[in-house]
Structure 1
Amino acid sequence: MKKNRTLIRTLILLIMVAAIGYTFYINFFKEDEVVSKGSTAPNFALTELNSEDKFTLSEQKGKGVIVNFWGTWCEPCKREMPFMNELYQKYKDQGIELFALNADESEFSVKKFVSDYKLTFPIAIDKDQEILNIYGVNPLPTTFFVSPDGKVKRIVTGQMTSTSFENYIKEILPK
């Protein structure tokens, strides 16, 4: 009985030491992955929703890239999509690329949303919210404006207006 108690206490102590060690590691030694203004946008590659094409951020060098994180349930996202679609059509031939990453919803609901809003820009589903977490996105919508050299020029959290969105596009237009 006494041996069992000693064994259990030892195991509890080891678990506590491991938990404290892990906490110190995460807080003091692990590099923070959250993206900030002026940093290089982390590369990612995702298969587009309605095709077999892959969108790879690093292959967009020389273009201004807008990376938009959104959800079908998100009311501000719903209000942004029509003017984002319209302005994408206006600026895509001038070197602007827009890529919208859905925050891990079902393919059915995302395809229905895309169809309902008649969206024409590349869209993908961020499975397990992997890219969303790397970029440190919270809340939705959040939009990153990436300059042609791959640097994050602007981060917009929350809903934009058509005018502000167009002004931000002009900041990342290739020269």
Structure 2
Amino acid sequence: MKKIISLVLTGTIVAAALTGCGNESNESDVKAASTQSSSDVVANEADSSASVEEASDLPQWKYGKFTASVVDGQIDLSGLGVVIEVPEELKDKADSIGIRGSVTDEFGYASIYWINPDDPDNTGYEIVDLEADVNPVNVEDLVYEDYGITTDVVADLGSNGGFNYYAYREDTWYEGDSSYFDENVLADLDEDRKAEYIEFLSYSSELIDNITFVDFLIPEALGADDFDNEALLNFELTDLDGNTVKSGDYISSNKVTMINFWGTFCGPCINEMPYLAEIEQEYKDQGFEIVGMTCDVYDSEGNYQEDIVLDALDIIEDTGVEYPILIASVELRTYAQLTAYPTTFFVDSEGRLLTSPIVGSHSKEEWEAYIEEALAAVN
């Protein structure tokens, strides 16, 4: 239950930093995909709704994190497949409304929140949580009455372009059971700010009811034909001890290498590392190895962050990982076209891609199936 996990972890959201495991994110609250990739299926569904001539005019599903704002009375989330008309009473308060979210090829979300423009900490308080998933939505599965989330709170919005949309009517939630808000959200607000937030919160259902679907296209997943395998073997990287290494030295001697791009901010990445460590040992004698690529040591401007290295070392110790962990350079991250974390590549000894990149964390059994498939491909 993605919503409950996020709520248990954080009562408020921070506008300056995005939650989830979107590209270049630095937060630990996670709304990441955890199922097998369905991008090809979804792309076909989206394509079927538009002719070739129309396709170039459609917005694309926007991979990675994003922010938005109210413009001309609308919240344009066409990259997420929706546009939202802002209620008339809120249109002159646009500077108090923030929007942020994240998108992978299997899951997307947008959070609309109230923010005090004069708050130097830029702290936001959620009004609407909108989510889109390639998996079918069962409202009953999203109910969590211990937190006051009943069937009246969850709005099943239907499907668009192969995705299933739902949102949380947080005004209904607050009116039905305010205990979660009182204990986790409102406790830090003075009476004036509390009243202002509750006023914005009262528009949650109206915002949801004003959602309109728009057509969009899913970008095609990176495939073997587009993958420069020779370049993959020649990246100069460093390990966590500061030693200079060559990427190919960790690939060429294996039949199959599982390259796992992860971040210290990414809960799903870290949660699966203990059984990735087990898997690596189980399949090692078959010519298989995992190479972890830590993706947040260098920030988007290429600055090396020593504190992230220390975090990574702590995580490796805590999870029992013994397979090699390298530091992904900005150039490698760009080359890999990463849109979310974790993202995993399976390659052969020459760096050739064996499957499309796999976005999201998976169970041990699911990873074993992928590994068996990759080993069968090279054998």
What does residue 87 of structure 1 align with?
279
Q: CA deviation at 1:40?
A: 4.2
AA partner of residue 153 (structure 1): L
Gap change, CA 1:149 and 1:159, over 3 Å in 2 = same
What does residue 353 of structure 2 align with?
152
Give runs of ≥4 in structure 1 deviating > 6 Å.
none
TM-score, length-scaled by structure 1: 0.70
Gap change, CA 1:171 and 1:40, over 3 Å in 2 = farther
Separation (CA, whole Å) in 1 of partners of 2:346 and 2:246: 16
Aligned length: 141
What does residue 247 of structure 2 align with?
56
Matches for 1:122-133 after TM superposition, within 5 Å: 122-127=324-329, 129-133=330-334
Contact 2:260/2:291, CA 8 A, preserved across alignment: yes
Unpaired segments of 5 or more residues in structure 2?
Answer: 1-220, 298-307
Report the identity percentage: 31
Contact 1:144/1:156, CA 8 A, preserved across alignment: yes
Higher helix share: 1
Provide Cα deviations, 1:107-134, integer angstroms capped at 9, x if missing partner. 111111111112100001224x321111
TM-score, length-scaled by structure 2: 0.34
Provide Cα deviations, 1:3-50, integer angstroms capped at 9, x if missing partner. xxxxxxxxxxxxxxxxxxxxxxxxxxxxxxxx8222343222423324
Gap change, CA 1:137 and 1:48, over 3 Å in 2 = same
The alignment status of 1:140 with 2:326, answered yes or no, reads no
Please tell me the root mean square deviation across aligned C-alpha atoms, in Å.
Answer: 2.4
Provide Cα deviations, 1:27-82, integer angstroms capped at 9, x if missing partner. xxxxxxxx822234322242332484735226633520111110112111022111
Q: Of the candidates 283, 291, 296, which is equivalent to residue 99 of structure 1?
A: 291
What does residue 318 of structure 2 align with?
116
The higher-RCO structure (CA 8 Å, 6+ apart) is 1
Q: Of the candidates 368, 372, 379, which is equivalent to residue 166 of structure 1?
A: 368
Separation (CA, whole Å) in 2 of partners of 1:52 and 1:92: 24
Contact 2:257/2:289, CA 8 A, preserved across alignment: yes
AA partner of residue 328 (structure 2): D
Q: Which moved more, 1:45-54 or 1:129-138?
A: 45-54
Higher strand share: 2
Q: Secondary structure of the residue that 1:54 maps to in structure 2?
A: strand
